[in-house]
A and B are shown apart, each in its own frame.
Chain A
Amino acid sequence: MLIRNLPESYLHERDATPESLYQDRRAVLAGMIGAGLMPHLAQAADGEGGGLPRLSSRLTRRLDEDQTSYDSVTHYNNFYEFGTDKEDPARRAGKLRTRPWTVRVDGLVSKPQTIDIDRLIRLAPLEERVYRMRCVEGWSMVIPWVGFPLNALLKMVEPLGKARFVAFETLKDPGQMPGQRSSVLQWPYVEGLRLDEAMHPLTLLAVGLYGRVLPNQNGAPIRLVVPWKYGFKSIKSIVRIRLVDRQPPTSWNISAPQEYGFYSNVNPTVDHPRWSQARERRIGDWLPRATLPYNGYGAEVSQLYRGMNLKRYF
Protein backbone atom coordinates (compact mmCIF):
# COMPACT_ATOMS: atom_id res chain seq x y z
CA MET A 1 0.00 0.00 0.00
CA LEU A 2 1.24 3.45 -0.85
CA ILE A 3 0.49 6.16 1.67
CA ARG A 4 1.01 9.58 0.19
CA ASN A 5 2.14 11.88 2.92
CA LEU A 6 2.65 15.00 0.92
CA PRO A 7 5.06 17.50 2.43
CA GLU A 8 3.74 20.97 3.19
CA SER A 9 5.78 22.40 0.36
CA TYR A 10 4.15 20.06 -2.18
CA LEU A 11 2.39 22.06 -4.85
CA HIS A 12 -0.95 20.97 -6.15
CA GLU A 13 -1.89 21.73 -9.74
CA ARG A 14 -4.11 24.59 -8.58
CA ASP A 15 -1.24 26.29 -6.74
CA ALA A 16 1.13 26.34 -9.66
CA THR A 17 1.98 29.68 -11.18
CA PRO A 18 0.64 30.28 -14.71
CA GLU A 19 3.27 29.07 -17.11
CA SER A 20 3.72 32.39 -18.90
CA LEU A 21 4.59 34.11 -15.63
CA TYR A 22 6.73 31.19 -14.57
CA GLN A 23 8.74 31.29 -17.78
CA ASP A 24 9.45 34.95 -17.09
CA ARG A 25 10.67 34.34 -13.55
CA ARG A 26 14.28 35.07 -14.39
CA ALA A 27 13.32 38.37 -15.95
CA VAL A 28 11.42 39.16 -12.75
CA LEU A 29 14.46 38.24 -10.63
CA ALA A 30 16.75 40.24 -12.90
CA GLY A 31 14.43 43.20 -12.45
CA MET A 32 14.66 42.79 -8.68
CA ILE A 33 18.43 42.66 -8.80
CA GLY A 34 18.45 45.73 -11.03
CA ALA A 35 16.19 47.56 -8.61
CA GLY A 36 18.59 46.72 -5.79
CA LEU A 37 16.02 44.53 -4.05
CA MET A 38 18.31 41.54 -3.91
CA PRO A 39 21.28 41.87 -1.57
CA HIS A 40 23.41 39.68 -3.78
CA LEU A 41 26.67 39.79 -5.58
CA ALA A 42 25.94 40.58 -9.18
CA GLN A 43 25.67 37.46 -11.30
CA ALA A 44 25.58 36.92 -15.02
CA ALA A 45 22.18 36.66 -16.65
CA ASP A 46 21.02 33.12 -17.12
CA GLY A 47 21.58 33.39 -20.83
CA GLU A 48 20.14 30.85 -23.20
CA GLY A 49 20.89 27.75 -21.18
CA GLY A 50 23.64 26.93 -23.64
CA GLY A 51 20.97 26.32 -26.26
CA LEU A 52 20.04 23.04 -24.58
CA PRO A 53 16.56 21.70 -25.39
CA ARG A 54 13.71 22.58 -23.06
CA LEU A 55 12.00 19.90 -21.03
CA SER A 56 8.35 20.11 -20.18
CA SER A 57 7.70 19.45 -16.55
CA ARG A 58 5.37 20.37 -13.75
CA LEU A 59 6.58 22.38 -10.78
CA THR A 60 5.96 20.13 -7.79
CA ARG A 61 8.22 21.61 -5.22
CA ARG A 62 9.23 25.16 -4.69
CA LEU A 63 11.52 26.83 -2.22
CA ASP A 64 11.14 30.32 -0.90
CA GLU A 65 14.83 31.14 -1.38
CA ASP A 66 16.66 32.86 -4.22
CA GLN A 67 17.71 30.44 -6.92
CA THR A 68 21.39 30.33 -7.80
CA SER A 69 21.97 31.75 -11.28
CA TYR A 70 22.14 29.34 -14.22
CA ASP A 71 25.62 30.64 -14.94
CA SER A 72 26.86 29.76 -11.44
CA VAL A 73 25.08 26.39 -11.34
CA THR A 74 26.81 25.43 -14.59
CA HIS A 75 30.25 26.98 -13.96
CA TYR A 76 31.01 26.09 -10.35
CA ASN A 77 31.09 22.32 -10.23
CA ASN A 78 32.83 19.50 -8.47
CA PHE A 79 32.97 16.77 -11.10
CA TYR A 80 36.50 15.40 -10.76
CA GLU A 81 36.04 13.27 -13.90
CA PHE A 82 36.76 16.54 -15.70
CA GLY A 83 39.37 18.04 -13.37
CA THR A 84 39.57 19.41 -9.85
CA ASP A 85 39.16 23.12 -10.61
CA LYS A 86 35.58 24.35 -10.17
CA GLU A 87 35.49 25.60 -13.76
CA ASP A 88 37.14 22.50 -15.29
CA PRO A 89 33.84 20.63 -15.79
CA ALA A 90 32.30 23.52 -17.76
CA ARG A 91 35.50 23.78 -19.82
CA ARG A 92 36.16 20.11 -20.40
CA ALA A 93 32.85 18.24 -20.34
CA GLY A 94 32.12 18.98 -23.99
CA LYS A 95 33.63 15.66 -25.05
CA LEU A 96 31.13 13.63 -23.05
CA ARG A 97 28.73 11.85 -25.42
CA THR A 98 25.34 11.48 -23.78
CA ARG A 99 23.72 9.65 -26.74
CA PRO A 100 23.54 6.75 -27.13
CA TRP A 101 23.46 6.10 -23.38
CA THR A 102 22.06 3.25 -21.40
CA VAL A 103 21.64 2.59 -17.71
CA ARG A 104 21.98 -0.98 -16.52
CA VAL A 105 19.72 -1.74 -13.54
CA ASP A 106 20.36 -5.11 -12.00
CA GLY A 107 21.42 -7.00 -8.89
CA LEU A 108 18.74 -8.15 -6.47
CA VAL A 109 15.74 -7.33 -8.65
CA SER A 110 13.25 -9.54 -10.42
CA LYS A 111 13.40 -7.52 -13.67
CA PRO A 112 17.00 -6.61 -14.38
CA GLN A 113 17.30 -4.52 -17.53
CA THR A 114 19.36 -2.15 -19.59
CA ILE A 115 17.35 0.97 -20.27
CA ASP A 116 17.99 3.46 -23.03
CA ILE A 117 18.20 7.01 -21.71
CA ASP A 118 15.40 8.27 -23.95
CA ARG A 119 13.09 5.61 -22.59
CA LEU A 120 14.24 6.23 -19.04
CA ILE A 121 13.41 9.94 -19.27
CA ARG A 122 9.81 9.01 -20.16
CA LEU A 123 9.50 6.51 -17.33
CA ALA A 124 7.58 8.93 -15.12
CA PRO A 125 6.15 12.45 -15.51
CA LEU A 126 8.93 15.00 -15.24
CA GLU A 127 8.75 17.29 -12.25
CA GLU A 128 10.53 20.50 -11.52
CA ARG A 129 11.77 20.57 -7.93
CA VAL A 130 13.69 23.39 -6.34
CA TYR A 131 16.17 21.93 -3.86
CA ARG A 132 19.00 23.22 -1.75
CA MET A 133 22.38 21.69 -2.62
CA ARG A 134 24.97 21.68 0.17
CA CYS A 135 28.54 20.79 -0.78
CA VAL A 136 30.72 19.12 1.85
CA GLU A 137 33.22 21.94 1.22
CA GLY A 138 30.93 24.50 2.84
CA TRP A 139 29.11 26.19 -0.02
CA SER A 140 25.56 25.78 -1.22
CA MET A 141 23.19 26.55 -4.07
CA VAL A 142 19.46 26.50 -4.77
CA ILE A 143 18.78 24.60 -7.98
CA PRO A 144 15.57 23.96 -9.93
CA TRP A 145 16.06 20.37 -11.03
CA VAL A 146 13.95 18.51 -13.55
CA GLY A 147 13.55 14.80 -13.00
CA PHE A 148 11.49 12.05 -11.45
CA PRO A 149 11.69 10.13 -8.19
CA LEU A 150 14.23 7.30 -8.15
CA ASN A 151 11.56 5.09 -6.59
CA ALA A 152 9.67 5.08 -9.92
CA LEU A 153 12.61 3.29 -11.53
CA LEU A 154 13.21 1.00 -8.56
CA LYS A 155 9.56 -0.08 -8.44
CA MET A 156 9.71 -0.92 -12.14
CA VAL A 157 12.59 -3.37 -11.69
CA GLU A 158 10.97 -4.88 -8.56
CA PRO A 159 13.59 -5.17 -5.82
CA LEU A 160 13.83 -8.58 -4.16
CA GLY A 161 13.28 -8.97 -0.43
CA LYS A 162 17.02 -9.39 0.17
CA ALA A 163 17.87 -6.00 -1.37
CA ARG A 164 18.97 -3.54 1.32
CA PHE A 165 21.15 -1.02 -0.51
CA VAL A 166 21.42 0.60 -3.92
CA ALA A 167 24.84 1.01 -5.57
CA PHE A 168 25.40 3.59 -8.31
CA GLU A 169 28.21 3.91 -10.81
CA THR A 170 29.37 6.74 -13.09
CA LEU A 171 30.70 6.21 -16.61
CA LYS A 172 34.39 5.35 -16.75
CA ASP A 173 35.98 6.48 -20.00
CA PRO A 174 39.13 8.60 -19.75
CA GLY A 175 38.72 9.45 -23.45
CA GLN A 176 35.54 11.35 -22.65
CA MET A 177 36.40 12.19 -19.05
CA PRO A 178 39.98 13.50 -19.05
CA GLY A 179 40.06 13.90 -15.26
CA GLN A 180 40.01 10.11 -14.98
CA ARG A 181 43.63 10.10 -16.20
CA SER A 182 44.58 11.48 -12.79
CA SER A 183 44.41 9.41 -9.66
CA VAL A 184 42.65 11.98 -7.49
CA LEU A 185 40.01 9.28 -6.83
CA GLN A 186 39.50 5.64 -7.84
CA TRP A 187 37.49 5.33 -11.04
CA PRO A 188 34.71 4.75 -11.76
CA TYR A 189 33.06 6.98 -9.17
CA VAL A 190 30.68 4.92 -7.08
CA GLU A 191 28.00 5.89 -4.59
CA GLY A 192 25.34 4.19 -2.56
CA LEU A 193 22.16 4.63 -0.57
CA ARG A 194 20.24 2.49 1.82
CA LEU A 195 17.15 1.15 0.03
CA ASP A 196 14.78 3.22 2.18
CA GLU A 197 16.77 6.37 1.39
CA ALA A 198 16.65 5.48 -2.30
CA MET A 199 12.88 4.92 -2.13
CA HIS A 200 12.27 8.21 -0.30
CA PRO A 201 10.08 10.54 -2.38
CA LEU A 202 12.65 13.36 -2.12
CA THR A 203 15.33 11.27 -3.87
CA LEU A 204 15.39 12.39 -7.46
CA LEU A 205 16.86 11.18 -10.71
CA ALA A 206 17.53 14.48 -12.47
CA VAL A 207 17.71 14.87 -16.24
CA GLY A 208 17.54 18.65 -16.39
CA LEU A 209 17.86 21.95 -14.58
CA TYR A 210 16.34 25.38 -15.12
CA GLY A 211 13.77 23.79 -17.42
CA ARG A 212 16.38 22.48 -19.83
CA VAL A 213 18.29 19.29 -20.48
CA LEU A 214 21.10 18.74 -17.96
CA PRO A 215 24.41 20.29 -19.11
CA ASN A 216 27.26 17.75 -19.28
CA GLN A 217 29.13 19.42 -16.42
CA ASN A 218 26.15 18.88 -14.14
CA GLY A 219 26.05 15.13 -14.68
CA ALA A 220 24.28 14.56 -17.99
CA PRO A 221 22.40 12.65 -19.11
CA ILE A 222 21.11 11.44 -15.74
CA ARG A 223 22.21 11.99 -12.16
CA LEU A 224 21.06 11.45 -8.63
CA VAL A 225 19.91 14.29 -6.37
CA VAL A 226 19.64 13.55 -2.64
CA PRO A 227 19.02 17.00 -1.17
CA TRP A 228 19.54 16.14 2.51
CA LYS A 229 23.03 14.72 1.92
CA TYR A 230 26.28 16.42 0.97
CA GLY A 231 26.55 16.98 -2.76
CA PHE A 232 29.06 14.23 -3.46
CA LYS A 233 26.39 11.61 -2.69
CA SER A 234 24.42 12.86 -5.70
CA ILE A 235 26.37 10.84 -8.26
CA LYS A 236 26.51 12.11 -11.84
CA SER A 237 26.38 10.58 -15.35
CA ILE A 238 25.06 7.24 -14.08
CA VAL A 239 25.56 4.08 -16.15
CA ARG A 240 24.70 1.43 -13.60
CA ILE A 241 22.36 0.97 -10.65
CA ARG A 242 22.62 -2.23 -8.67
CA LEU A 243 20.49 -3.47 -5.79
CA VAL A 244 22.60 -5.27 -3.23
CA ASP A 245 22.33 -6.79 0.24
CA ARG A 246 25.40 -5.13 1.76
CA GLN A 247 26.49 -1.52 2.17
CA PRO A 248 28.33 -0.78 -1.09
CA PRO A 249 31.70 1.02 -1.23
CA THR A 250 31.51 4.74 -1.99
CA SER A 251 34.25 6.79 -3.66
CA TRP A 252 34.97 9.50 -1.10
CA ASN A 253 34.76 7.01 1.73
CA ILE A 254 37.40 4.88 0.00
CA SER A 255 39.56 7.99 -0.48
CA ALA A 256 39.31 9.29 3.11
CA PRO A 257 37.17 7.13 5.41
CA GLN A 258 37.74 9.38 8.43
CA GLU A 259 36.36 12.37 6.53
CA TYR A 260 33.49 11.05 4.42
CA GLY A 261 31.06 8.50 5.80
CA PHE A 262 28.58 6.35 3.93
CA TYR A 263 25.60 8.37 5.15
CA SER A 264 27.01 11.91 4.77
CA ASN A 265 23.77 13.53 5.83
CA VAL A 266 24.14 17.30 6.09
CA ASN A 267 24.80 17.82 9.78
CA PRO A 268 25.96 21.14 11.26
CA THR A 269 26.95 19.43 14.52
CA VAL A 270 29.42 16.97 12.98
CA ASP A 271 32.43 18.82 11.61
CA HIS A 272 34.59 17.72 8.76
CA PRO A 273 37.98 17.04 10.40
CA ARG A 274 39.46 19.98 8.52
CA TRP A 275 36.63 22.53 8.67
CA SER A 276 33.38 23.34 10.38
CA GLN A 277 30.09 22.19 8.88
CA ALA A 278 28.06 24.59 11.03
CA ARG A 279 27.91 27.22 8.30
CA GLU A 280 27.84 27.44 4.53
CA ARG A 281 28.17 30.20 1.98
CA ARG A 282 25.33 30.34 -0.49
CA ILE A 283 26.89 31.07 -3.88
CA GLY A 284 26.32 34.77 -4.50
CA ASP A 285 26.36 35.74 -0.81
CA TRP A 286 29.11 37.62 1.00
CA LEU A 287 28.72 35.94 4.35
CA PRO A 288 28.03 32.38 5.43
CA ARG A 289 24.68 31.34 6.86
CA ALA A 290 23.84 28.59 9.35
CA THR A 291 23.68 25.09 7.90
CA LEU A 292 20.40 23.30 8.64
CA PRO A 293 20.23 19.71 9.91
CA TYR A 294 19.52 17.45 6.95
CA ASN A 295 19.92 20.58 4.83
CA GLY A 296 16.46 21.70 5.93
CA TYR A 297 14.73 18.44 4.99
CA GLY A 298 14.67 16.99 8.51
CA ALA A 299 10.87 16.97 8.81
CA GLU A 300 10.75 14.61 5.86
CA VAL A 301 13.81 12.42 6.37
CA SER A 302 14.88 12.37 10.02
CA GLN A 303 12.68 9.33 10.71
CA LEU A 304 14.98 7.33 8.42
CA TYR A 305 17.71 7.70 11.05
CA ARG A 306 15.73 7.39 14.26
CA GLY A 307 17.86 5.90 17.03
CA MET A 308 21.06 6.09 15.01
CA ASN A 309 24.20 7.68 16.44
CA LEU A 310 24.77 10.35 13.83
CA LYS A 311 28.27 11.12 15.09
CA ARG A 312 29.25 7.53 14.45
CA TYR A 313 27.29 7.09 11.22
CA PHE A 314 28.33 10.42 9.73
Chain B
Amino acid sequence: MGWLRAHRQGLAHIVMALPVLVLAVRWAMMITGGDPRAVGLSAEPIDYTINYLGLWAIRFLILSLAITPLRTWTRWSWLAPLRRPLGLWAFACALLHLSVYFLLDQLGSFTLLWESVAKHPFILLGMAAFTLLLPLALTSTRASIRRLGGRRWQALHRLVYLSAIFAAIHFILRVKGFQPEPWIYAGIAGALLLVRALPTAWVRRA
Protein backbone atom coordinates (compact mmCIF):
# COMPACT_ATOMS: atom_id res chain seq x y z
CA MET B 1 0.00 0.00 0.00
CA GLY B 2 2.82 2.35 0.88
CA TRP B 3 4.48 1.66 -2.47
CA LEU B 4 1.18 2.26 -4.28
CA ARG B 5 0.73 5.57 -2.52
CA ALA B 6 4.26 6.68 -3.26
CA HIS B 7 3.89 5.95 -6.99
CA ARG B 8 0.29 7.07 -7.30
CA GLN B 9 0.88 9.73 -9.94
CA GLY B 10 3.24 7.56 -11.98
CA LEU B 11 0.72 4.72 -12.00
CA ALA B 12 -2.06 7.11 -12.93
CA HIS B 13 -0.02 8.28 -15.93
CA ILE B 14 0.57 4.70 -17.05
CA VAL B 15 -3.15 3.87 -16.92
CA MET B 16 -4.15 7.13 -18.58
CA ALA B 17 -1.62 6.62 -21.37
CA LEU B 18 -3.42 3.45 -22.47
CA PRO B 19 -5.85 5.00 -24.99
CA VAL B 20 -3.03 6.81 -26.78
CA LEU B 21 -0.83 3.73 -26.52
CA VAL B 22 -3.51 1.52 -28.10
CA LEU B 23 -3.87 4.04 -30.92
CA ALA B 24 -0.10 4.20 -31.41
CA VAL B 25 0.13 0.40 -31.67
CA ARG B 26 -2.65 0.36 -34.27
CA TRP B 27 -0.90 3.07 -36.27
CA ALA B 28 2.38 1.19 -36.09
CA MET B 29 0.61 -1.92 -37.43
CA MET B 30 -0.97 0.09 -40.23
CA ILE B 31 2.22 1.85 -41.24
CA THR B 32 4.04 -1.47 -41.41
CA GLY B 33 1.48 -2.69 -43.95
CA GLY B 34 -1.55 -3.71 -41.90
CA ASP B 35 -5.02 -3.15 -43.33
CA PRO B 36 -6.50 -0.14 -41.47
CA ARG B 37 -9.79 -1.87 -40.74
CA ALA B 38 -8.13 -5.10 -39.66
CA VAL B 39 -5.93 -3.26 -37.15
CA GLY B 40 -8.96 -1.44 -35.72
CA LEU B 41 -8.70 1.97 -37.39
CA SER B 42 -11.73 1.53 -39.71
CA ALA B 43 -11.56 1.94 -43.48
CA GLU B 44 -10.91 5.67 -42.95
CA PRO B 45 -8.09 5.73 -40.37
CA ILE B 46 -7.57 9.50 -40.42
CA ASP B 47 -11.14 10.35 -39.54
CA TYR B 48 -11.21 7.50 -37.03
CA THR B 49 -8.07 8.83 -35.35
CA ILE B 50 -9.34 12.40 -35.13
CA ASN B 51 -12.62 11.22 -33.60
CA TYR B 52 -10.88 8.84 -31.21
CA LEU B 53 -8.50 11.48 -29.89
CA GLY B 54 -11.23 14.09 -29.56
CA LEU B 55 -13.42 11.68 -27.64
CA TRP B 56 -10.61 10.79 -25.21
CA ALA B 57 -9.75 14.46 -24.74
CA ILE B 58 -13.31 15.21 -23.65
CA ARG B 59 -13.44 12.08 -21.48
CA PHE B 60 -10.28 13.07 -19.61
CA LEU B 61 -11.52 16.63 -19.32
CA ILE B 62 -14.80 15.47 -17.76
CA LEU B 63 -13.01 13.05 -15.43
CA SER B 64 -10.71 15.86 -14.26
CA LEU B 65 -13.79 17.99 -13.54
CA ALA B 66 -15.34 15.12 -11.59
CA ILE B 67 -12.47 14.82 -9.09
CA THR B 68 -13.22 17.79 -6.86
CA PRO B 69 -17.01 17.24 -6.46
CA LEU B 70 -16.41 13.53 -5.97
CA ARG B 71 -13.78 14.19 -3.34
CA THR B 72 -16.00 16.63 -1.49
CA TRP B 73 -18.90 14.23 -1.58
CA THR B 74 -17.07 10.99 -0.72
CA ARG B 75 -14.24 12.56 1.33
CA TRP B 76 -11.83 10.27 -0.49
CA SER B 77 -8.69 12.34 -0.31
CA TRP B 78 -6.71 9.89 -2.45
CA LEU B 79 -8.62 11.19 -5.50
CA ALA B 80 -6.93 14.58 -5.39
CA PRO B 81 -3.60 13.61 -6.97
CA LEU B 82 -5.44 12.21 -10.01
CA ARG B 83 -6.61 15.63 -11.11
CA ARG B 84 -3.35 16.83 -12.62
CA PRO B 85 -2.61 13.69 -14.70
CA LEU B 86 -6.22 13.69 -15.96
CA GLY B 87 -5.91 17.31 -17.02
CA LEU B 88 -2.58 16.68 -18.69
CA TRP B 89 -3.91 13.71 -20.64
CA ALA B 90 -6.93 15.74 -21.72
CA PHE B 91 -4.47 18.28 -23.07
CA ALA B 92 -2.26 15.61 -24.69
CA CYS B 93 -5.23 14.05 -26.48
CA ALA B 94 -6.50 17.48 -27.55
CA LEU B 95 -3.05 18.40 -28.87
CA LEU B 96 -2.81 15.15 -30.87
CA HIS B 97 -6.41 15.59 -32.05
CA LEU B 98 -5.62 19.08 -33.34
CA SER B 99 -2.27 17.99 -34.82
CA VAL B 100 -3.76 15.16 -36.87
CA TYR B 101 -6.56 17.46 -38.03
CA PHE B 102 -4.06 20.20 -38.93
CA LEU B 103 -1.58 17.93 -40.75
CA LEU B 104 -3.84 15.40 -42.48
CA ASP B 105 -7.11 17.29 -42.90
CA GLN B 106 -5.99 20.89 -43.28
CA LEU B 107 -2.88 19.80 -45.22
CA GLY B 108 -0.62 21.42 -42.64
CA SER B 109 -1.65 24.83 -43.94
CA PHE B 110 -2.18 27.66 -41.47
CA THR B 111 -4.16 29.53 -44.14
CA LEU B 112 -6.63 26.66 -44.43
CA LEU B 113 -6.77 26.21 -40.67
CA TRP B 114 -7.43 29.91 -40.13
CA GLU B 115 -10.14 29.85 -42.80
CA SER B 116 -11.82 26.90 -41.10
CA VAL B 117 -11.69 28.62 -37.71
CA ALA B 118 -13.08 31.85 -39.13
CA LYS B 119 -15.84 30.25 -41.19
CA HIS B 120 -17.07 27.38 -39.06
CA PRO B 121 -18.19 27.85 -35.43
CA PHE B 122 -17.75 24.08 -35.00
CA ILE B 123 -14.00 24.42 -35.63
CA LEU B 124 -13.73 27.72 -33.74
CA LEU B 125 -15.18 26.11 -30.60
CA GLY B 126 -12.78 23.18 -30.79
CA MET B 127 -9.87 25.54 -31.26
CA ALA B 128 -11.01 27.70 -28.35
CA ALA B 129 -11.40 24.67 -26.09
CA PHE B 130 -7.83 23.64 -26.93
CA THR B 131 -6.35 27.13 -26.61
CA LEU B 132 -7.84 27.51 -23.13
CA LEU B 133 -6.15 24.27 -22.03
CA LEU B 134 -2.74 25.45 -23.23
CA PRO B 135 -1.90 27.85 -20.34
CA LEU B 136 -3.22 25.27 -17.88
CA ALA B 137 -0.91 22.58 -19.21
CA LEU B 138 2.01 25.02 -19.12
CA THR B 139 1.34 25.94 -15.48
CA SER B 140 0.62 22.44 -14.23
CA THR B 141 3.80 22.12 -12.14
CA ARG B 142 4.16 22.73 -8.41
CA ALA B 143 6.73 25.40 -9.27
CA SER B 144 4.08 27.27 -11.26
CA ILE B 145 1.66 27.18 -8.34
CA ARG B 146 4.37 28.68 -6.12
CA ARG B 147 5.33 31.26 -8.69
CA LEU B 148 1.75 32.37 -9.40
CA GLY B 149 0.52 32.04 -5.85
CA GLY B 150 -2.31 29.64 -5.00
CA ARG B 151 -5.13 32.10 -5.48
CA ARG B 152 -4.04 33.39 -8.87
CA TRP B 153 -3.17 29.86 -10.04
CA GLN B 154 -6.63 28.67 -9.08
CA ALA B 155 -8.30 31.59 -10.83
CA LEU B 156 -6.33 30.80 -14.01
CA HIS B 157 -7.22 27.13 -13.83
CA ARG B 158 -10.92 27.94 -13.72
CA LEU B 159 -10.51 28.39 -17.50
CA VAL B 160 -11.04 24.65 -17.64
CA TYR B 161 -14.78 25.24 -17.07
CA LEU B 162 -15.01 27.31 -20.24
CA SER B 163 -12.89 24.80 -22.14
CA ALA B 164 -15.25 21.98 -21.13
CA ILE B 165 -18.29 23.97 -22.26
CA PHE B 166 -16.70 24.71 -25.65
CA ALA B 167 -15.55 21.10 -26.05
CA ALA B 168 -19.03 19.78 -25.26
CA ILE B 169 -20.66 22.05 -27.87
CA HIS B 170 -17.91 21.19 -30.37
CA PHE B 171 -18.80 17.50 -29.90
CA ILE B 172 -22.53 18.18 -30.29
CA LEU B 173 -21.80 19.97 -33.58
CA ARG B 174 -19.70 17.05 -34.79
CA VAL B 175 -22.55 14.64 -35.46
CA LYS B 176 -25.32 14.59 -38.06
CA GLY B 177 -28.97 14.11 -37.15
CA PHE B 178 -30.06 13.70 -33.55
CA GLN B 179 -27.55 11.50 -31.75
CA PRO B 180 -27.64 11.11 -27.96
CA GLU B 181 -23.93 10.47 -27.29
CA PRO B 182 -22.59 14.05 -27.35
CA TRP B 183 -25.60 15.23 -25.33
CA ILE B 184 -24.79 12.69 -22.64
CA TYR B 185 -21.25 14.07 -22.42
CA ALA B 186 -22.58 17.63 -22.39
CA GLY B 187 -25.06 16.69 -19.66
CA ILE B 188 -22.35 15.23 -17.45
CA ALA B 189 -20.06 18.22 -18.03
CA GLY B 190 -22.95 20.58 -17.28
CA ALA B 191 -23.84 18.73 -14.06
CA LEU B 192 -20.20 18.86 -12.90
CA LEU B 193 -20.13 22.61 -13.48
CA LEU B 194 -23.50 23.20 -11.81
CA VAL B 195 -22.50 21.27 -8.73
CA ARG B 196 -19.70 23.80 -8.22
CA ALA B 197 -22.24 26.60 -8.05
CA LEU B 198 -23.93 24.97 -5.09
CA PRO B 199 -22.79 26.03 -1.61
CA THR B 200 -20.10 23.69 -0.31
CA ALA B 201 -22.08 23.00 2.84
CA TRP B 202 -25.03 21.74 0.80
CA VAL B 203 -22.82 19.43 -1.22
CA ARG B 204 -21.23 18.07 1.97
CA ARG B 205 -24.61 17.29 3.45
CA ALA B 206 -25.83 15.51 0.35
In the complex, what residue of chain A is closest to B180 when comparing beta carbons? A182
Once A287-B104, A288-B105 are accepted as A-B contacts, the answer to whether A84 and B42 lie under 8 Å apart by CB is: no
Question: In the complex, are the beta carbons of A71 and B30 less than 8 A apart?
Answer: no
Within 8 A of B (CB), among A34-78: 41-44, 71-72, 75-76
A271 at the B interface (CB under 8 A): yes
Expressed in whole angstroms, the minimum distance between the Cβ of B47 and any Cβ of chain A is 7
B175 at the A interface (CB under 8 A): yes
Expressed in whole angstroms, the minimum distance between the Cβ of B176 and any Cβ of chain A is 7
- Residues of B in contact, count (CB < 8 Å): 30
Question: In the complex, are the beta carbons of A86 and B120 less than 8 A apart?
Answer: no
B177 at the A interface (CB under 8 A): yes
Pick from B38, B107, B178: contact of A287, CB under 8 Å: B107
Question: In the complex, are the beta carbons of B35 and A84 less than 8 A apart?
Answer: no
Once A281-B46, A283-B44 are accepted as A-B contacts, the answer to whether A274 and B36 lie under 8 Å apart by CB is: no
B111 at the A interface (CB under 8 A): no
Question: In the complex, are the beta carbons of A76 and B43 less than 8 A apart?
Answer: yes
B45 at the A interface (CB under 8 A): yes
As a 0/1 sequence over residues 241 to 278 of chain A, the CB contacts with chain B under 8 angstroms (1 = contact) are: 00000000000100110000000000000010111100
Expressed in whole angstroms, the minimum distance between the Cβ of B38 and any Cβ of chain A is 6
Within 8 A of A (CB), among B16-64: 30, 33-38, 42-47
Chain A residues near B44 (CB-CB < 8 A): 76, 86, 139, 281, 283
Chain A residues near B104 (CB-CB < 8 A): 286-287
A271–B116 alpha-carbon span in the complex (Å): 10
Chain B residues near A84 (CB-CB < 8 A): 175, 177, 179
Once A87-B42, A274-B120 are accepted as A-B contacts, the answer to whether A72 and B178 lie under 8 Å apart by CB is: no
A5 at the B interface (CB under 8 A): no
Chain B residues near A300 (CB-CB < 8 A): none
Pick from B35, B119, B177: contact of A276, CB under 8 Å: B119
Question: In the complex, are the beta carbons of B122 and A275 less than 8 A apart?
Answer: yes
Question: In the complex, are the beta carbons of B34 and A42 less than 8 A apart?
Answer: yes
A274–B121 alpha-carbon span in the complex (Å): 7
Expressed in whole angstroms, the minimum distance between the Cβ of B181 and any Cβ of chain A is 9
- Residues of A in contact, count (CB < 8 Å): 33
In the complex, what residue of chain B is closest to A139 when comparing beta carbons? B44
In the complex, what residue of chain A is closest to B120 when comparing beta carbons? A274
Question: In the complex, are the beta carbons of A41 and B30 less than 8 A apart?
Answer: yes
In the complex, what residue of chain A is closest to B47 when comparing beta carbons? A139
A274–B119 alpha-carbon span in the complex (Å): 8
Chain A residues near B45 (CB-CB < 8 A): 41
Question: In the complex, are the beta carbons of B177 and A80 less than 8 A apart?
Answer: yes
Question: In the complex, are the beta carbons of A72 and B177 less than 8 A apart?
Answer: no
Chain A residues near B37 (CB-CB < 8 A): 43-44, 71-72, 75-76
Question: In the complex, are the beta carbons of A281 and B47 less than 8 A apart?
Answer: yes
A185–B35 alpha-carbon span in the complex (Å): 32
Expressed in whole angstroms, the minimum distance between the Cβ of B170 and any Cβ of chain A is 10
B173 at the A interface (CB under 8 A): yes
Expressed in whole angstroms, the minimum distance between the Cβ of B103 and any Cβ of chain A is 9
Question: In the complex, are the beta carbons of A183 and B33 less than 8 A apart?
Answer: no
In the complex, what residue of chain A is closest to B181 when comparing beta carbons? A84
Question: In the complex, are the beta carbons of B35 and A44 less than 8 A apart?
Answer: yes
Expressed in whole angstroms, the minimum distance between the Cβ of A136 and any Cβ of chain B is 8
8 more contacts with CB within 8 A, not counting A43-B43, A75-B43, are: A42-B33, A72-B43, A86-B44, A182-B180, A275-B122, A275-B123, A281-B44, A287-B107
Q: Which 4 A-B residue pairs are closest in the complex by CB-CB distance? A: A76-B43, A72-B43, A184-B177, A274-B122
